[in-house]
Amino acid sequence: MADILPDCRAKQPTKVIKGTLGAFRLNMVPVYCGNCGVSGPLVPMENMTFAFWLCKKCEKFGAIAGTMQMPDEVFWAKVKEAEIEKYERELNPAETAEALKDGDSILSKLARDRPRFK
């Protein structure tokens, strides 16, 4: 299995910048290089589960694409695998919601263990 890309945002953001995107006002946080840690671009603080970035200097060390995966991709692959193992098929959204209501179901356990940015 491929390695998981690191989230390049600070776990406890101390530098929140208020910005605008057209008519929208956004709270933005910096992203840091996944290799050397240099400060980089800003990304929206809300509604993001993951951000990865490499600076120009570190990009020259080789391509990462295809060798690593984003955490959400790994999570949803585990969900699909668990559904097929337990139910012998992928569940539709209503069935998934019903399975999540049961705190002891495999899907509930996966959902509790899912990494989150706070």
The per-residue pLDDT for 7 is: 85
Same domain, 18 and 60: yes
Q: Can you name the residues that pair with 69 across neighbouring β-strands?
A: 4
**Domain endpoint, select from 26, 46, 65:** 65
- Count CB atoms within 10 A of the CB of residue 52: 17
Same domain, 61 and 84: no
Inter-residue contact 101 to 111 (CB < 8 Å): no
User: Would you state the structure tokens that stand for residue 39, as one six-digit string?
Assistant: 């400060």
Q: How far apart are CA 50 and CA 109, in angstroms?
A: 21
Same domain, 19 and 40: yes
Q: What is the pLDDT of residues 69-106, one digit of tens each?
A: 566 777 778 888 888 888 888 888 888 888 888 888 88
Q: How far apart are CA 70 and CA 19, in angstroms?
A: 26
**Residue 58: which domain range?**
3-65
Confidence check: pLDDT of 35 > 50: yes
Q: At 45, which amino acid appears?
A: M
The per-residue pLDDT for 63 is: 58
Domain count of the fold of the chain: 2
Residue 105's contacts (CB-CB under 8 Å, 6 or more residues apart) are: 99
> What average pLDDT does this structure show over 21-35?
87
Statement: the pTM of the whole predicted model exceeds 0.75: no
